[in-house]
Amino acid sequence: MQNALTENHQPQQARLTMQEVIPPMAPATPEAAAKQNKFLEENKGKFKSTKLAADYYVLQAKRTFNEDKLDSALVFFNRAWLMDRSNNEIYWGYGLVYGQQEEYDKALYILYRALDKDKENARLLTDVATTHLARFYQYSTPDDLQQSKKLLERALQLNPDDTADTYYKLAVSSYYLLEFGPAWDYLHQSIRQDKEKEDKTFIAALLAQERDPQGIYVAQPER
């Protein structure tokens, strides 16, 4: 069952199906289907179980994803899905790949599938929120902005530690929602945890809207 956070009610460009998002779910030709069947038979002999096989391919997918080899990562996630479609990390991984490819509708469609199975996962909530924020940048959709903030706030509740990135993204979401006071508060909390979050461009944009309540940052006089 979905709840208010996991319900995928944000606007989409088109109605998607799992077959459109998970490539091996609908092989394009009889030859492709035969190739999948051959792969399954070969791998059943290589691994003690299909779950172990899927774990192996997920690990390879993560490795290639971190190397920015998105096509290879997608191939490994496809293989993992063929071995064990109950592995939730596969759906999460598909979402991250599609997000990097800027296919945000596909990314959110499959990320919500993962989130519905793991509602209390702060990292997953943050990834879904980040994808909403990215789609907002692309389409300026207010619903994406609101949903991003809601998910980030929930992630913060679940994991209040090591949250510099979450606070920073909340600052950005609040800024675009014209909530400049909260934006400053989130930004300061982010920078306290990680000095690298001190983004001069973002700080200047915030100062143009509202002075820093803590007085740490001040607008530079115009020359």
3-state secondary structure at position 104: helix
> Among 4, 29, 12, 7, which residue's Cα sits nearest to residue 98?
12
How does pLDDT run across 114-167, given as a tens digit for each residue? 999 999 999 999 999 999 999 999 999 999 999 999 999 999 999 998 899 999
Distance CA 220, CA 69 (A): 42
179 against 223, higher pLDDT:
179
In degrees and rounded to multiples of 5, residue 7 shows phi and psi of -65, 125
Query: Do 58 and 142 share a domain, yes or no?
Result: no
- Let me know if residue 6 belongs to a domain: no
Query: Do 125 and 187 share a domain, yes or no?
Result: yes
Query: Do 108 and 133 share a domain, yes or no?
Result: no
Count other Cβ atoms within 10 Å, centred on residue 95. Answer: 27
Question: CB under 8 Å to 48, separation ≥6 — which residues?
Answer: none
CATH code: domain of residue 147:
1.25.40.10
Query: Do 93 and 130 share a domain, yes or no?
Result: no
HSE-CB of 8 using CA atoms within 13 angstroms: 18
Which of 10-24, 96-110, 117-131, 189-203 is the least confident region? 10-24
On the question of pLDDT at 7 being above 80, the answer is no
On the question of pLDDT at 2 being above 50, the answer is no
- Residue 103 sits at the vertex; the CA angle it makes with 150 and 96, to the nearest 5 degrees, is 65
Residue type for 4, please? A
What is the total count of domains within the chain? 2
How does pLDDT run across 86-118, given as a tens digit for each residue? 999 999 999 999 999 999 999 999 999 999 999
Predicted pLDDT of residue 6: 47
- The residue range of the domain holding 195 is 119-214
CATH code: domain of residue 29:
1.25.40
On the question of pLDDT at 14 being above 90, the answer is no
Query: Do 101 and 149 share a domain, yes or no?
Result: no
